[in-house]
Amino acid sequence: MGVGIVVLGVLGLVSAGFALTSQPSTLTFSPNASGQVDLTMQTVGSYGSGNNPTWVSYLTQSPQGAWEHTTIWQVPAHTQINVTIYQYDSGSPLRNQQLGQVTGTIGDEATLNGKSFQVIDSNSGNGVGHTFSIPTLGISVPLYANDPNATLCAAAPCTSSSPRNVIKFSFMSPGAGTYSWQCFVPCGLGWFYGNGGPMGTVGYMGGFMKVA
């Protein structure tokens, strides 16, 4: 209950920030031959170009295979969404350890480099770099961090030549509507408690899932 209140409170603040920014393009995904949607993203520690080259960011792979600097996508309703996230960033222990749990996915589980998991202890190993969270749907997946001593990717889009963790999970899309999603790990370096900059900007650490 406490986590829900905190999450909703942060969501309200970040959503307010989202509303004040211009939005990037929307990528539209259609079901594959199995009737499911495949959605691939990556997280990078530094976008590397544009107006905010040092900002941490998500990118989304278009249906044509190109990496796009957008976090807005449209998917069909009541469809299984298979998500793959290439996590190229470093991390740290979570301030709220409950965000280390996988929730809202099919089976309340995900895979990390091919191995199933339901929780990450961020106080051990490399910690957690980011989360992928859709609060209104109860979906949240922690993204295990890379070794901070490794030579990490410095500019997007990153490739398999850089150290990365591969996180996969699936969930069912809801009915028609627009659902905000975001990272709940404060990773806006140089901002008050890490919650500014990319944390409140669509196209970086949060976006929208449009369901039609």
The full DSSP string for 108-145 is G-EEETTEEESB--TTSTT-EEEEEEEGGGTEEEEEEP
Rounded distance between C-alpha atoms, residue 6 and residue 29, angstroms: 32
What three-state secondary structure class fits 90?
coil
For residue 57, the surrounding DSSP H or E stretch is strand 57-61
Residue entry with tokens 């965000």: 99
Looking at residue 19, what is its pLDDT? 44
Looking at residue 189, what is its pLDDT? 72
Spatial contact of 30 and 75, defined as CB atoms under 8 Å apart: no
Spatial contact of 84 and 40, defined as CB atoms under 8 Å apart: yes
Residues 6+ apart with CB under 8 A from 108: 102, 118
188-to-28, 130, 184, 194, 198 alpha-carbon distances in Å: 28, 11, 11, 4, 6
Query: What is the pTM for the complete model shown?
Result: 0.89
206: buried, middle or exposed (CB in 10 Å: 19+, 13-18, 0-12)?
buried
Per-residue pLDDT of the chain (212 residues; tens, 9 = 90+): 444 434 434 444 444 444 445 689 999 999 999 999 999 999 999 999 999 999 999 999 999 999 999 999 999 999 999 999 999 999 999 989 999 999 999 999 999 999 999 999 999 999 999 999 999 999 999 999 999 899 999 999 999 999 999 999 999 999 999 999 999 998 877 666 767 889 989 999 999 999 99
**Domains of the chain by range and CATH?**
2-211 (2.60.40.420)
Q: How far apart are the first and last CA of the chain?
A: 30
Pull the structure tokens for residue 185: 């790990």
Pull the structure tokens for residue 96: 């709220």
Rounded distance between C-alpha atoms, residue 208 and residue 57, angstroms: 14
